[in-house]
A and B are shown apart, each in its own frame.
Chain A
Amino acid sequence: MHSNIMKNVQHVTERKQLPENPKQLLHTIFLEIISATDVKIAKTIDDLFNDLLYGNTIFLLDGVDMVLNINTAGWEGRQIEEPITEGVIRGPREGFVENLLTNMMLVRRHIRDPNLRFDKHSIGKRSKKYMIVSYVEGIVHPELLQEIKRRLQTIDMDDAPDTGYIEEWLQDSFLSPFPQITNTERPDKVSSALLQGKVAILLDGTPFVLIAPATFGNALQSPEDYYERFVIATFIRLLRYLAAFIAIFMPALYIALLSYQPGMLPTNLTISIAAAREGVPFPPFVEAIMMVITMELLREAGARLPKTIGQTIGIVGGLVIGDAAVSAGIVSPVMVVIIALNAVASFAIPEYSLGISFRIILLGFMIAAGLLGIYGIILAYIMVNIHIVNLKSVGVPYSAPFGPFFKGDWNDLVMRAPLQTINRRPVYMQTKDDKSGNKGE
């Protein structure tokens, strides 16, 4: 502000002839003297409120009933750095920051298509934060966009510090443990979602961008899959599905097999586990619940502590506590192994929100296994399955390429087919422009 406005205006008085009429004087200043890029003429105070609070400068001249609204917003912000929650081994290391304009710039850099739209909305009665709904016109299904805009109109709150608030307003089912709207810190994830026909929501003041709609297959995908070759990517995807299975079922299977169906284990394994459990005071169910709760506590504690201590607490704490518990004879060593495996597997899920929801489901499965054994696990699984199949994310079925079976989408679901063969946008999005790339032209 100083260099563009104050200095110029001060210099003016020493220079040439200025028109006498204040109105013309203002115009001259507007046109010639102030060297800022975004200058508007405003007439009423209402126009000015938001902008003044946003950091603009208002230039008033005595005797004129118009004012200049100069965009001089420029405050301290975080540098663009690697996203903390979603690091990849290979791929761009840029993450969103809190400044909305910077985020828009990051997305625009990936998609330089003139069809990329950024629609500005204002959220929050008292905070009046800027929120951008971004989509690629010509790809996105118009009804999807309409529905999202309609839902955004219903938001009625004072302030939205993070997109999590908006996610809760937008989502279809608030009781479901599954997140129906993806959130991410990576611009490349947002840009590829936009090209698939999805809608992104950016909010000023938070680096987390929402992508709606989301499906279950999306939750187990990571942008890294596309940066490596397809054999590796397919293998890692399969590993992720295995990790999801372990993260949900392992402790429940342990409880069910030990308490109800030891006939299903091979004899040698049964003997080893029975030997390991001699003298343990708690039944498997109580043991498992205790260890799971301990693991969750350790994780939460690790997240709150500063970086370096947090990591050590996680590893050392887990090992030491587990070892001490085994030596004291409170839990059996097999339980510690299973819980450690379970924790590691749940970290392999690329999306943090889904990892947490898996742990909630895990508790449900453990209770079902403790009550009815393997039969209980099957019953609980059927319930979860019914729930997922009924879940919709802004109108798109949550289990989309699995549930309503879209054959064309399976090349990018569990395996990642070579990029040359992925030349259609996802069928379940029903995009207006089907083909990506120059196929068929």
Chain B
Amino acid sequence: MAKSKTCCILVCFVCLLLTAGCWDSKSIEDRGFIVGVALDIADAGENTPLGSNNLALTVQFIVPGGYATSQSSGGSGATPKAYKNITGTGDSVFSIAHQMDTKTSKQPYFEHIKVVLVSEEILKHDELFASIMDVFIREPEMRRGVDVLVTKGEAKKYLAFDAHEGQQIPAIYISKILENTLQSKRTIHPVRLGKMHEYLLGSSSFAVPVASMEKNNIDISGVAVFHGHNNKFIGMMNANETTGLNLVTGNMKYGGVEFKINNRLMNFEILDSKSKLKVDASNPQQVNIQVDIKLEGRIEEMYGDKRLLNENYIAAMEKKFQVKLNPLWRNLS
């Protein structure tokens, strides 16, 4: 009697498993892999739903068939593009993202996002940037390793940019540039979403790399600076100022410094940099900050044929110029 009862329960359990299982199963070719997201303020002409925000979200899908053929055929005739951009407008990022469900044949899948581009128009509105970042941080499908960039001009254009470098998909192209910026002094390290989360919650100011479009390529140099307390956009720093920032924060491990000695150019490559900040806040009206920067490197390029014995001290002086370009950006309080 007991035996048939356990048999019964076992059969019920197996049936449950078979009927309820694989509810989550979606074949890989039915998913649309999203690699890049661009956020803009929508033009006034487009339909403006209720609410004061007017966001335009562009997502970039990968078309796997186009990817395969354009790799193999090498661009003969009318090759299908390897990506597809779809734009939606609305109030909140989440609602726009769900509009995508009805605009494409594949189910959008966000886990492969590589880069999030935010146009500088959005930065002009208070709190909009932080609010936009919120959905990317909360949604479990978005990963913490996604890079965030601020773009000059319309972010949508960056997702349609063909750089003729062999990489068919603009979002992946941009993320590959970001890998190179680890070794750059003209911009800071790429800011990942996880780090962005920390910044938004914390109270120190932070900076996000800025991308600008040139004729043949996308240039990532300079940063956009945000206030620590209210996450408000303060301003942009150009490449030189960012170099100064890197010097002060001790992040300048690569790159070089050009200077002139005896009217000849010399290039000093920096291999290691350390910086020390001393803050004297005894008088709240006038706070003194002393920055000690130590740089280690070697002479990389030299014009002329002078010998190098007693010119090192001149190099130190030249660096001070660099630091002078660095505005007081860290707001201490």
Pair from one complex? yes
**Do residues A372 and B112 form an inter-chain contact, with CB atoms below 8 A?**
no
Cβ A274 vs Cβ B29 within 8 A: yes
Please tell me if the beta carbons of A271 and B67 are within 8 angstroms of each other in the complex: yes
Residue of A nearest to B22 (CB): A371
Nearest chain B CB to A123's CB is how many angstroms away? Answer: 34
- Which residue of chain B lies nearest to A255 when distances are taken between CB atoms in the complex? B25
Per the 8 Å Cβ criterion, residues 16-33 of B in contact with A are 17-18, 21-22, 24-29, 31, 33
Expressed in whole angstroms, the Cα–Cα distance for A360 and B181 within the complex equals 51
Judged by a CB distance under 8 angstroms, whether A302 is at the interface is: no
Task: Tell me, yes or no, whether B111 is within 8 Å of chain A by CB.
Answer: yes
Stretch at the interface among A5-13, A195-203, A262-270, A387-395: A262-270
A373 to B67, CA, bound (A): 27
Asked, given contacts A270-B28, A274-B28, A277-B28, whether A262 binds B111 with beta carbons under 8 Å apart, the answer is yes
Give the docked Cα–Cα distance between A141 and B25 (Å).
53
With both beta carbons as reference points, the residue of chain B lying nearest to A375 in the complex is identified as B24
A353 to chain B, nearest CB (A): 28
Q: Tell me, yes or no, whether B65 is within 8 Å of chain A by CB.
A: yes
What is the distance, in angstroms, from B141's C-beta to the closest C-beta of chain A? 8
- The answer, yes or no, to whether A370 is at the interface (CB within 8 Å) is yes
Evaluate contact between B109 and A263: CB separation under 8 angstroms. Answer: yes
Quick one: closest B residue to A283, CB to CB?
B27
> Contact at A277–B29, with CB atoms within 8 Å?
yes
CA distance A258 to B114 in the complex (A): 20
Q: Which residue of B is nearest A258, CB measured? A: B28
- Number of interface residues, chain B, beta carbon within 8 A: 25
Check B25 against A260 for contact (C-beta < 8 Å).
Answer: yes
**Closest A residue, CB atoms, query B21:** A371
CA A273 – CA B27 in complex, angstroms?
11
Chain A residue with Cβ nearest B24: A260
Report the Cα distance A376→B18, complex, angstroms: 12
**Inter-chain contacts of A270 with B (CB < 8 A):** 28, 33, 112
* Contact status B18-A371, CB under 8 Å: yes
**A371 to B28, alpha carbons, bound, how many Å?**
16
Instruction: For the complex, give the distance between the alpha carbons of A285 and B111 in Å.
Output: 22
Which one of B68, B111, B114, B172 lies within 8 Å of A272 (CB-CB)? Answer: B68
Number of A-B contacts (CB under 8 A): 71
Q: Give Cα A35 to B158, complex, Å.
A: 103
Residue of A nearest to B67 (CB): A271
Residues of A within 8 A of B109 (CB): 262-263
- Kindly state whether residue A278 has any CB partner on chain B within 8 Å: yes
* A280 located at the interface, meaning its Cβ lies under 8 Å from any Cβ of chain B in the complex: yes
B27 and A275 within 8 A (CB): no
Given the known A-B contacts A262-B31, A283-B25, A373-B24, are A267 and B172 also in contact in the complex, defined by CB atoms under 8 Å?
Answer: yes
Residue of chain B at shortest CB distance from A376: B21
- In the complex, A278 Cα to B111 Cα: how many Å? 20
Contact A271 B27 (CB under 8 A): no
A363-413 residues with Cβ-Cβ distance < 8 A to B are: 370-373, 376
Closest A residue to B28 by CB, please name it.
A258
**A173 contacts the other chain (CB 8 A):** no
Q: Are B64 and A275 in contact (CB under 8 A)?
A: yes
Are B25 and A271 closer than 8 Å at their CB atoms? no
Q: Which residues of B lie under 8 Å from residue A218 when comparing CB positions?
A: none
Q: A276 to B21: give the CA distance in the assembly, Å.
A: 26
- Cα A267 to Cα B168 in complex, Å, equals 14
Given the known inter-chain contacts A263-B111, A267-B33, please indicate yes or no for A372 contacting B28, CB distance below 8 A: no
Q: Which residues of B contact A430 (CB under 8 A)?
A: none
Query: CB within 8 Å of A: which of B151-174?
Result: 172
Q: Which of B22, B64, B114, B143 contacts A271 (CB 8 A)?
A: B64
| Residue from the list A263, A272, A277 in contact with B27, Cβ < 8 A | A277
With A274-B29, A277-B27, A284-B27 known as contacts, the answer to whether A267 contacts B22 (CB < 8 A) is: no
Compute how far the CA of A258 lies from the CA of B24 in the bound complex, rounded to whole angstroms. Answer: 12
Q: Which residues of B from 117 to 143 have beta carbons under 8 Å from A?
A: 141, 143
Contact with A along B1-44 (1 / 0, CB 8 A): 00000000000000001100110111111010101000000000
- B208: Cβ under 8 A from any A Cβ: no
For the complex formed, measure the closest distance between the CB of B7 and the CB atoms of chain A, giving whole angstroms. Answer: 15
Contacts of B67 in A (CB 8 A): 271, 275
List chain A residues, Cβ under 8 A from B114.
267
User: In the docked arrangement, what's the CA distance between A351 and B166, Å?
Assistant: 50
Q: Chain A: which residue is nearest B25 at the CB level?
A: A259
Question: Which residues from chain B contact A258 at a C-beta distance below 8 Å?
Answer: 27-28
Q: Given A270-B28, A277-B28, A371-B22, A263 and B112 touching (CB < 8 A)?
A: yes
B93 within 8 A of A: no
Report whether A274 and B33 are in contact in the complex, using a CB–CB cutoff of 8 Å.
Answer: yes
B14 to chain A, nearest CB (A): 11
Chain A residue numbers with a CB within 8 Å of B210 are: none
Q: Which of B43-78 contact A (CB under 8 A)?
A: 62, 64-65, 67-68
* Distance between Cα atoms of A371 and B21 in the complex (Å): 5
Docked Cα-Cα span, A276 to B27, in Å, equals: 12
CA of A273 to CA of B65, assembled, Å: 10
Q: Which residue of B lies closest to A264 (CB)?
A: B111
Bound complex: CA A395 to CA B260 (Å): 85
| Shortest distance from the beta carbon of A338 to any chain B beta carbon, whole Å | 14
Q: CB-nearest residue of chain A relative to B33? A: A270
Whole-angstrom distance between the alpha carbons of A376 and B29 in the complex? 22
Question: Are the CB atoms of B29 and A280 closer together than 8 Å?
Answer: yes
**Cβ B35 vs Cβ A267 within 8 A:** yes
Bound state CA distance, A275 and B67, in angstroms?
Answer: 8
Please give me the residue from chain A that is nearest to B68 by CB atom. Answer: A275
Q: In the complex, A272→B65 CA distance in Å?
A: 9
A275 to B31, CA, bound (A): 11
A267-B112, A267-B114, A278-B64 known; A273 vs B28 contact (CB < 8 Å): yes
Write the nearest CB–CB distance from B185 to chain A, whole angstroms. 29
Which residues B91-122 have CB closer than 8 A to chain A?
Answer: 109, 111-112, 114
Among B25, B26, B65: residue with most chain A CB under 10 A: B25
Evaluate contact between A271 and B62: CB separation under 8 angstroms.
yes
One digit per residue, 1 when the CB lies within 8 angstroms of any chain A CB and 0 when it does not, for chain B 214-241 equals: 0000000000000000000000000000
On chain B, the residues within 8 Å of A275 by CB distance are 64-65, 67-68
Q: Could you write out 19 A-B pairs with CB less than 8 Å apart?
A: A259-B22, A259-B26, A260-B24, A262-B111, A267-B33, A270-B112, A271-B64, A271-B67, A272-B68, A273-B28, A274-B62, A275-B64, A276-B68, A277-B27, A278-B65, A370-B21, A371-B22, A372-B21, A373-B25
Ranked 5 nearest A-B pairs via Cβ: A263-B111, A371-B21, A275-B64, A275-B68, A274-B64
17 new A-B pairs (CB below 8 Å) besides A260-B25, A263-B143, A371-B22?
Answer: A262-B28, A262-B31, A262-B33, A263-B109, A263-B111, A267-B172, A271-B67, A273-B28, A274-B33, A275-B68, A276-B68, A278-B64, A284-B28, A370-B22, A371-B21, A373-B24, A373-B25
Instruction: Give the A-binding residues of B (Cβ under 8 A).
Output: 17-18, 21-22, 24-29, 31, 33, 35, 62, 64-65, 67-68, 109, 111-112, 114, 141, 143, 172
